[in-house]
Chain A
Amino acid sequence: MTPAGPKTSPGSETLARTELELSASWRVVVLNDPVNLMSYVMMVFKKTFGFNESTARKHMLQVHEQGRSVVWTGLREKAEAYVFTLQQWHLTAVLESDETH
């Protein structure tokens, strides 16, 4: 089950920040691990993002050879849902603001 969306506390500063977070672009990044099989990682990418074989392979190889791959970019709420799904599959996945790189 995907957790509920981000919670906010009252206060204009917090609300402004939250609005900015929600409207800004966020990256879903998968990091390498020495355990998960290449075929498994490809299958997870195909299932989670609907990638075809060659796109799944490209991202899997990026993770394997470069240590990380940006697999999706977009709004925060959907990025969080993707990170959660990838973590359910035991991939190491993080959420990054598009401004951090």
Chain B
Amino acid sequence: MKRIEVKLSLPVVAPLLDVIRELADGMGRKLAAPQEFGDLDPEFRDAWHGDLLAGQKADVGQLLALFDDEFFTEGVVAFDEDNAEPIVRACAAVRLRLREVFLRGLGDDTLEGGDVELGDLSEPVRKAFMCYLFLATVQELIIQHLDSSIIDS
């Protein structure tokens, strides 16, 4: 099984996990990406919405499980063919929620370009933006090394 291990800086990453945990609480109740359900039958729409929410909650749970005892002792996290897909999806969900909850003020062009002066940001927004960048890095790592595992699974 293809597996990559990544050594992270504990002092940098550990505080970002608080932001993810804070958002994770609400992610079983609200979809990260706003969706239109058009003319679907209400019962069918509710089932559809519920399935999306359940999947989102499970994915975010997998992301948080990545930061286990090994991470807090060694600073190491591991990605493999089993966890790559839910984690890369969870990163997308949390990044969308970060934008919604903390980063709206930055504007979408700034967010897309990533050209942000960290010193100008308030502490909660700075932390959220760091988390946003960190999760993008995780996604890039997984896509770079494990995308064939995800696509073929």
- Give 11 A-B contacts (CB < 8 Å), ordered by A residue: A3-B47, A8-B41, A34-B108, A34-B112, A37-B136, A37-B143, A40-B143, A43-B147, A88-B89, A89-B89, A90-B96
Could you tell me which residues of chain B, from 16 to 41, have a CB within 8 Å of some CB in chain A? 31-36, 38, 40-41
Total A-B Cβ pairs within 8 A? 78
A6: interface (CB < 8 Å): yes
Among the listed stretches B4-12, B48-56, B70-78, B117-125, which one makes contact with chain A, having 4 or more residues with CB under 8 Å of it? B48-56
Query: Which 8 A-B residue pairs are closest in the complex by CB-CB distance?
Result: A34-B108, A90-B92, A90-B33, A3-B48, A47-B151, A7-B41, A3-B47, A34-B112
Set of chain A residues within 8 Å of B43, measured between Cβ atoms: 7
Q: What separation, in Å, do the CA atoms of A91 and B55 have in the docked complex?
A: 14
A35: interface (CB < 8 Å): yes
A95: interface (CB < 8 Å): yes
Could you tell me which residues of chain B, from 112 to 153, have a CB within 8 Å of some CB in chain A? 112, 136, 139-140, 143, 147, 150-151
The interface residues of chain B, by DSSP majority, are classed as helix
Q: What separation, in Å, do the CA atoms of A2 and B50 have in the docked complex?
A: 11
Q: What separation, in Å, do the CA atoms of A18 and B11 have in the docked complex?
A: 57
Tell me if B41 and A40 are in contact (CB < 8 A).
Answer: no
Residue tally, chain B, CB below 8 Å to A: 35
Tell me if A46 and B151 are in contact (CB < 8 A).
Answer: yes
**In whole Å, how far is A7's beta carbon from the nearest beta carbon of chain B?**
5
Set of chain B residues within 8 Å of A35, measured between Cβ atoms: 92, 95-96, 99, 111
A87: interface (CB < 8 Å): yes
Given A7-B41, A40-B143, A94-B35: 19 more A-B contacts, CB < 8 Å? A1-B51, A3-B48, A4-B44, A7-B44, A33-B33, A33-B96, A35-B92, A35-B96, A36-B95, A36-B96, A37-B139, A47-B150, A84-B51, A87-B35, A87-B52, A90-B32, A90-B93, A91-B33, A92-B33
